Structure 1
Amino acid sequence: MPERKKSDAYDASKDQTLGKVVKGESPIWIRIFIGILRVWFFIYDCLNYLPYQLFNSPTEKLRKSGRVKARFVEDRDGPMRHVDGLISEDFPGKDTIDKVWRHIVEVHDESPCLGTRQLIAVHQEKQDNGRVFEKWELGEYSWLSYREVEAKVAHLAAGIKDLCADSTDPKVVIFAETRAHWMMTALACFRANVPIVTVYATLGEEAIVAAINETDATMLVTSAELISKLGAVGTRCKTLHTLIYLPQVDKNAPAPDLTNVRSQFAHVLSWNGLLDRNPTVITESTARSTDIALIMYTSGTTGAAKGVILLHQNVVSAIAGQGAGVGIICKTDTYIGYLPLAHILELSAEMTCLVRGAKVGYSSPLTLHDRGSKIQKGTHGDCYALRPTLLAAVPAIMDRIFKAVSEEVAASPRFMQELFKLNYERKRARYQEGYASPFLDRVIFKKIRRLLGGRLRGVLSGGAALNPETQRFMNICMCCPVVQGYGLTETCGAACVAEITDLSTGTVGPPVRCSQIALREWPEGNYSPFNDPPQGEIMITGPNISAGYWKQPEKTAEDFVDYKGKRYFATGDIGEWRDDGSLLIIDRKKDLVKLQHGEYVSLAKCETALLTCPIVENICVYGSGLEAYTIALVVPNQKHLEKIAEEVGASGSTEELCANADVIKAFKKKLDEHATKNKLSRVEQPGAIHLCAEIWTPDSGLLTEALKLKRRPIAIKYEDTIKDLYAKTRA
Structure 2
Amino acid sequence: MSKSFVVPSSEIPGYSAIYRHPEYKDGTHDGKFADITTVYELFAAYVNNNPKSEFLGTRKYLANTNTFGKYEWLTTTEVAELVNDFGSGLDNIYSQYAPELNPVTGQQPLGIFSLNRYEWNVSEFSAFRSRRYTVGITDTTGVELSEYGINEAGVKVIICSIDKIPRMLDRIKLTPTLKVIISMDKFDCTEKTFSNRAFSKASIAKLQAKAESLGISLFDMGSVVNLGRATPTEPTLPKFQDYCTLCFSSGTTNTQKGVLITHQNFIYSSRAAIISDNYPEGTYLSYMSLSHVFERYLLYSFMNETARIGYFTGDIANLLEDMQALRPTVFATAPVLLNRIYNKLASATIGVKGIKGVLLNKAVKSKINQIKSGNGYRHGLWDKLVFDKIAALFGGNLKIVISGAYFLHEDVQNFLRACLSCNVIQGYGQTETSGGCTLQSIDDISSGNIGIPLPGIDVRLRSIPEMGYNVTDSPCPRGELMICSESVFKCYYNEPERTAETMDGEWLATGDIVAVNPDGTISILERIKNIFKSGLNIWIEPEALETIYNTHSLVDSSFVYSNDEETELVAVIVPDPEHFVSWAQAIIGNKQVSINSICTNEKVVGCMIEQLKLHAVKNNIIKAGIISLVHLEPAPFSKVNPEFITPSFKIRRHLVTSHYKPIFDAMFKRLGTSNRPQFGVSDQHAED
Q: Please indicate, yes or no, whether the TM-score normalized by the shorter chain is above 0.5.
A: yes
1:44-86 C-alpha deviation (Å, 9 max, x unpaired): xxxxxxxxxxxxxxxxxxxxxx773433354342321111212
Change (3 A) 1:412 1:624: closer
Cα displacement (A) at 1:365? 6.7
Residues 231-269 of structure 1 show CA distances to partners (whole Å, capped at 9, x for unaligned) of 444333232111011115147643353143333344211
**Contact conserved, 1:337 with 1:364, CA < 8 A, in 2?**
no
Residues 656-677 of structure 1: per-residue CA shift (max 9 Å, x gap): 2222222211111111111111
Alpha-carbon distance in structure 2 between the residues aligned to 1:364 and 1:277: 29
The alignment's TM-score, normalised by the length of structure 1, stands at 0.84
Kept in 2, the 8 Å contact 1:329–1:353? The answer is: no
Is it true that 1:318 corresponds to 2:256 in the alignment? no
Corresponding residue number in structure 2 for 1:338: 287
Number of the residue aligned with 2:212: 262
Residue 539 of structure 1: CA displacement?
0.4
Q: Report the AA paired with residue 609 of structure 1.
A: I
Q: Does 1:688 align with 2:632?
A: no
| Structure 2 equivalent of residue 186 of structure 1 | 124
What does residue 682 of structure 2 align with?
A: none
Report the counterpart of residue 49 of structure 2 in structure 1.
Answer: 107
Aligned residue identity for 1:507: N
Aligned to 2:81: 151
Indicate the SS of the match to 2:135.
strand
1:637 Cα deviation after fit: 1.8
What number of residue pairs does the alignment pair up?
639
Alignment map for 1:14-163 (pairs within 5 Å): 68-72=3-7, 74-76=9-11, 77-85=16-24, 86-87=28-29, 90-121=32-63, 136-163=66-93
Output aligned runs, 1:564-643, within 5 Å.
567-642=506-581, 643=583
The share of aligned pairs that are identical, in percent, is 25
Quote the residue 1:435 is aligned against: 375
Aligned match of 1:168: 101
> Deviation at 1:286?
2.9
Structure-2 change in CA distance of 1:93 and 1:73 (3 Å): farther
The aligned runs of 1:486-565 (5 Å cut-off) are 486-532=428-474, 533-562=476-505
Return the letter of the residue paired with 2:303.
L
Matched residue type, 2:611: K
| Cα shift at 1:90 | 4.8
Distance 2:358 2:212 in 1: 64
Tell me, in whole angstroms, the C-alpha distance in 1 between the residues paired with 2:414 and 2:215. Answer: 52
SS of corresponding position for 1:445? helix
Residues 128-527 of structure 1 mapped to structure 2, 5 A cutoff: 136-165=66-95, 166-169=99-102, 170-247=108-185, 249-250=193-194, 253-255=198-200, 257=204, 258=207, 259-279=209-229, 280-281=231-232, 284-330=235-281, 333-364=282-313, 366=315, 372=317, 374=318, 381-409=321-349, 414-436=354-376, 437-439=378-380, 440-527=382-469
**CA–CA distance in structure 1, aligned partners of residues 668 and 355 of structure 2:** 46
**Secondary structure of the structure 2 residue equivalent to 1:84:** coil
Please report the RMSD computed on the Cα atoms of aligned residues, expressed in angstroms: 2.1
What is the distance in 2 between the residues matched to 1:274 and 1:525? 56
Counterparts of 1:262 and 1:568 in 2: how far apart (Å)? Answer: 49
CA contact (8 A) 2:559 2:572 kept: yes
Residue in structure 2 matched with residue 48 of structure 1 by the alignment: none
- How far apart, CA to CA, are the structure 1 residues paired with 2:43 and 2:31? 13
Hey, what's the Cα distance between the residues in 1 that align with 2:76 and 2:301? 15
Task: Give the residue type in structure 2 aligned to 1:595.
Answer: S
Task: Quickly say closer, same or farther: Cα 1:512–1:364, change in 2 above 3 A.
Answer: farther
Whole-Å separation in 2 of the counterparts to 1:679 and 1:93? 51
SS of residue paired to 1:318 = helix
SS at match of 2:146: helix
SS in structure 2 at match of 1:543: coil
Deviation at 1:443, TM superposition (A): 3.7
Question: Which one of the candidate residues 638, 654, 666 is aligned to 2:595?
Answer: 654
Given the two structures, how large is their TM-score scaled by the length of structure 2? 0.89
Q: Per-residue deviation at 1:641?
A: 3.5
- Partner Cα separation in structure 1 for residue 325 and residue 19 of structure 2: 43
CA distance in 2, matches of 1:517, 1:88: 18
**Alignment partners' CA distance in 1, 2:64 and 2:575:** 31
CA distance in 2: counterparts of 1:267 and 1:90, whole angstroms? 45
TM superposition shift of 1:206: 1.8
| Structure 2: distance between partners of 1:80 and 1:73 | 10
Contact 1:177-1:201 within 8 A present in 2 as well:
no
Distance 2:172 2:277 in 1: 43
Question: What is the rounded CA distance, in whole Å, between the counterparts of 2:159 and 2:46 in structure 1?
Answer: 26
Equivalent residue letter for 1:263: S
Counterpart-to-counterpart distance in 2, 1:69 and 1:118: 46
- 1:173–1:197 CA contact under 8 A, matched in 2: yes
Structure 1: tracts of 5 or more residues without a match = 1-65, 124-135
Q: Residues of 2 paired with 1:281 and 1:108: CA distance? A: 25
The alpha carbon displacement at 1:591 in A equals 2.0
Change in Cα spacing, 1:110 to 1:510, as seen in structure 2 (3 Å) is same
- Unaligned runs of 5+ residues in structure 2 are 103-107, 186-191, 674-688
- Structure 1 residue 109, shift from structure 2 partner: 1.3
Q: Distance in 2 between matches of 1:595 and 1:552?
A: 34
Q: Is the 8 A contact 2:349 2:361 kept in 1?
A: no
Shift of 1:654: 2.6
CA contact (8 A) 2:113 2:160 kept: yes
Q: CA deviation at 1:335?
A: 0.5
Answer yes or no: is the 8 Å Cα contact 2:350–2:361 preserved in 1.
no
What is the CA-CA distance between 1:535 and the residue it aligns to?
1.4
User: Residue by residue, what CA displacement relative to the aligned partner does 1:542-569 show, whole Å, maximum 9, x if unpaired?
Assistant: 110001211222211111221xxxx111
**Distance 1:296-1:468 versus aligned 2 partners, 3 A rule:** same
Identify the range of structure 1 (715-724 vs 85-94) with the bigger mean alpha-carbon deviation: 85-94
Deviation for aligned residue 1:582:
1.6
Contact 1:204–1:229 (CA<8 Å) still a contact in 2? no
Which amino acid letter does the alignment assign opposite residue 307 of structure 1?
A: G
Which stretch of the first structure deviates more once superposed, 78-87 or 644-653?
644-653
Equivalent residue, structure 2, for 1:665: 606
Residue 638 of structure 2 aligns to a residue whose secondary structure is: coil
Name the SS of the counterpart of 1:103 in structure 2. helix
Residue 509 of structure 2: SS of its match in structure 1? Answer: strand
Letter in 1 for 2:652: K
Q: Which letter maps to 1:157?
A: G
Shift of 1:119: 1.6
Q: Once the 2 structures are TM-superposed, how far is the Cα of residue 509 of structure 1 from its aligned partner? A: 0.7
Contact 2:4 2:19 in 1 (8 A): no
Residues 432 and 488 in structure 2, CA contact (< 8 A), matched pair in contact too: yes
Retained in 1: the 8 A contact 2:265–2:488? yes
